[in-house]
Amino acid sequence: MGKETKVAIGKVLATEKYPTTIDEFKFWTNSDLRLHAFDVVKVERRDGSHTFGVIENILHITDAQSFLTNFISSDFGDTELLEPTLRVGMNYVEAKVSFNTKGNETPVHNNDKVYLATEEEIIQALGLDKIEHKLLCGSLKMYAGTENPVILPVHLNSEFLLGPEGAHLNISGISGLATKTSYAMFLLKAIQDYNQQNEDARKTAFVIFNVKGRDLLAIDKENESDASVKVKEEYKRLGLIDKPFENVKYFIPYSASSDSRQSTYMGKDDVDNYIRAQQLKKYKYLYKDDKESIEMMFANIDDTTQTMESIIEKIIGDGEFNGLDTWQDFLDKVSEKTQKGDPKSQKDEISIMSWRKFKRIVSKAIKNDSMFANGFSKQNNECRLQDELKQIKANDVFVVDIAKLAEDKQAFVFGDCLRTIYDLKQDVFSEEHGVNPPERIVVFIDELNKYAGTDAPKHSPILRGILDVAERGRSLGVVLFGAEQFRSDIHKRVTGNCATHAYGRTNSIETSTSSYSSIHSTYKNMLTRLDQGEYILQNPVFRSLLKVRFPKPIYKQFK
């Protein structure tokens, strides 16, 4: 596999109409030779160097001057008739220059010979031989269908994914076929393995939000599917540890009911088993400690006049609200503000109607939800998420379950956690006992468009927090892995600050948007037919876009 071929597969084409350039060239090749987009070829230069190119498009032409010529030569449409004159045909290939072995950037010349690259040359052509701090991100396959296919692992520089050189990952693709969560979890597993296998690796922890069903509620359990043996073998071939995630802790919303199914999709037996193993806690929010997070409930409320923001500032800073003990006390105080007969509300600069709007929103979230509690008991495996996040250590994997919460409460929990992590890395809690965060904390959230979409309210506190992480998190060690169906839905300041982009299967309407303007038209078309387990990856260390493959999850899957 990957043996060097001494036989040229074609020669460079350079015509008056289609000259070669320092960026691209074309070459003719046998029409029966099976080549694919993303395959790497090399051109033998007259100075003894080699110029490598990545295939972008493959075309077939004949000597027919028009479509009508072919139609007429078939006796005006007889599909069974053999043409009296054999048409001369050939394939020609469009390739983008990636590298020259001697730094020769002049265009390749007409009739220069073209060869398939060897495995070592592919690595050199794509810039994979220069990568430091190697972190696995998948594998690639070239020359499929030929005598010498090449399959090799692909690494990127962890410093360009997790900082400080570059940070953040955006994953896009339609639901189901694009397997966004699976690829994100594959990368997180690769990072955890990398940290365990390299003593000089920067210490990293992970905070993962489970937003759909039971997808991520057993990531420390073995994959029990029929394909699990093959999955383990593939992990071994790629140099990964063939075990699920380690050091995993789960956090589910508290429910006053004895039946945990009211707050989580995790089975009751699993909840009990995880509690016995000291791997699971039920989180609550207390008024005294968490009232500053109330603004997260308004993340998707268009507050153009900023009246809701004014109310929240009043609640946080006004002594009138500081002496309260419970959420019910808080709601009662808000109710007073909504009454026309209340002398205090009449003197208030905030209108009664604004207070009523505020009350409707917070009452909907807080009332009849035991997650908003008056206290918690550590003995009963209850906790505040902020307290737990402050204690996160290197290699910890925290899975925060929000799948069964209403959208406004999902936003509340996610926003509260993100702000806590950001503050943690800014040393806001450095004086508290036991606070010693790792160098990096990776936060993974699916359905990022809910919080950082192009239509998100301008003053959304969650959007503001995500932008802070995207723009300044790299220097602090806070790394965002975000996934969504449509990349075009995400705020440009978020995608613009991501060093790594993974493009999964999507539709032609999406690829026609400006978010894909930098991608070659052939690659755009390929995005509409990628298979499961395939992504087109972009990272500053790669000299070209790469189509990578990755194995199925190694942890337990739910049908």
State residue 364's pLDDT score: 85
The alpha carbons of the chain give a radius of gyration, in whole angstroms, of: 29
State residue 318's pLDDT score: 65
> 50-87, pLDDT tens digit by residue?
999 999 999 998 888 888 877 877 777 777 777 666 77
Helical (H) or strand (E) element with 421? helix 407-425
> 270-280, pLDDT tens digit by residue?
999 999 999 99
Is position 1 within any domain?
no
Domain interval for residue 448: 155-283+379-549
Mean pLDDT of all residues in 205-224: 93
What tokens appear for 195 in the block? 């940290």
C-alpha atoms less than 13 angstroms from C-alpha of 421 in its C-beta half-sphere: 33
pLDDT at 178 over 60: no
The maximal CA–CA distance of the chain, rounded, in angstroms, is 100
Task: Please say whether the dihedral angle defined by the alpha carbons of residues 363, 366, 370 and 373, taken in this order, is positive or negative.
Answer: negative
Check: CB of residue 539 under 8 Å from CB of residue 160: yes
Q: Enumerate residues 6+ apart whose C-beta is below 8 A from 551.
A: 186, 231, 234, 235, 238, 533
Domain boundary among 121, 140, 163: 121
User: Would you call the peptide bond into 164 cis, given omega within 30 degrees of 0 as the criterion?
Assistant: yes
For residue 520, how far is the Cα from the chain centroid? 21
- Considering the domain architecture, whether residues 316 and 225 belong to the same structural domain is answered as no
The model's pTM is 0.89
Task: Count other C-beta atoms under 10 Å from residue 84's C-beta.
Answer: 8
- Considering the domain architecture, whether residues 441 and 527 belong to the same structural domain is answered as yes
- Considering the domain architecture, whether residues 390 and 529 belong to the same structural domain is answered as yes
Which CATH number is 259's domain given?
3.40.50.300
pLDDT at 5 over 60: no
- Going by C-alpha positions, the residue among 491, 530, 490, 487 that lies closest to residue 509 is 487
Is position 356 within any domain?
yes
- Considering the domain architecture, whether residues 311 and 360 belong to the same structural domain is answered as yes
pLDDT at 482 over 90: yes
Is position 557 within any domain?
no
Is position 328 within any domain?
yes
- Considering the domain architecture, whether residues 359 and 401 belong to the same structural domain is answered as no
State residue 208's pLDDT score: 97
Q: Enumerate residues 6+ apart whose C-beta is below 8 A from 371.
A: 253, 254, 255, 263, 283, 284, 285, 409
> Residue 322's pLDDT band (boundaries 50, 70, 90)?
confident
Task: Please say whether the dihedral angle defined by the alpha carbons of residues 495, 36, 544 and 525, taken in this order, is positive or negative.
Answer: negative
- Considering the domain architecture, whether residues 171 and 201 belong to the same structural domain is answered as yes
- Considering the domain architecture, whether residues 266 and 405 belong to the same structural domain is answered as yes
Q: What is the DSSP letter of 243?
A: S
- Considering the domain architecture, whether residues 268 and 294 belong to the same structural domain is answered as no
Is position 127 within any domain?
no
Is position 235 within any domain?
yes
> 376-424, pLDDT tens digit by residue?
887 889 999 999 999 999 999 999 999 999 888 999 999 999 999 999 9
Using CA atoms, how far apart are residues 478 and 467, in angstroms rounded to an integer?
A: 12
Identity at 327, one-letter amino acid code: W
pLDDT at 346 over 60: no
- Cα dihedral 430/204/496/428 (nearest 10): -10
Number of domains in the chain: 3
The SS3 call for residue 295 is helix
- Considering the domain architecture, whether residues 212 and 272 belong to the same structural domain is answered as yes
For residue 193, how far is the Cα from the chain centroid? 19
> 492-541, pLDDT tens digit by residue?
999 999 999 999 999 999 999 998 988 888 888 889 988 888 999 999 88
> Residue 1's pLDDT band (boundaries 50, 70, 90)?
very low
